[in-house]
Amino acid sequence: GAVVSQHPSRVICKSGTSVKIECRSLDFQATTMFWYRQFPKQSLMLMATSNEGSKATYEQGVEKDKFLINHASLTLSTLTVTSAHPEDSSFYICSARGQGIEKLFFGSGTQLSVL
């Protein structure tokens, strides 16, 4: 099946720094990528949808200036958490969809811990 690679798997950073998370589709072209966030013992919450070459669409309540999403190519999307604070500590997961493909493929997730 299709593979979505997400890096890093775990990151610890100081409060106020920025963190970049990469999501790559390894064997298909991802026309759309989705970014989710998951707090402990909770379900996945969609943060934003990004389409290659256009601006991301953010869900209500998600700050676009804090969570910068770039989808410059059909195989790579990045999520940058700017000026991270402890409350941004969470499990971030990307998913990708290819042209004409019904199902989404998910990355393995990134555990962000902000000290």
Partner 1 sequence: DAKTTQPPSMDCAEGRAANLPCNHSTISGNEYVYWYRQIHSQGPQYIIHGLKNNETNEMASLIITEDRKSSTLILPHATLRDTAVYYCIVRVASAGGTSYGKLTFGQGTILTVHP
Which residues contribute to the site for partner 1 (CB under 8 A)?
Answer: 1, 4, 6, 32, 34, 36, 43-46, 49, 51, 54, 57, 91, 93-95, 97, 102-109, 111
Residue 3, helix vs strand vs coil:
coil
Smallest CA-to-CA distance from 85 within 6, 13, 4, 15 is with 15
DSSP string, 75-115: TEEEEEE-S--GGG-EEEEEEEEETT--S-EE---EEEEE-
Rounded to the nearest 5 degrees, what angle is found at the Cα of 111, between the Cα atoms of 70 and 27?
50
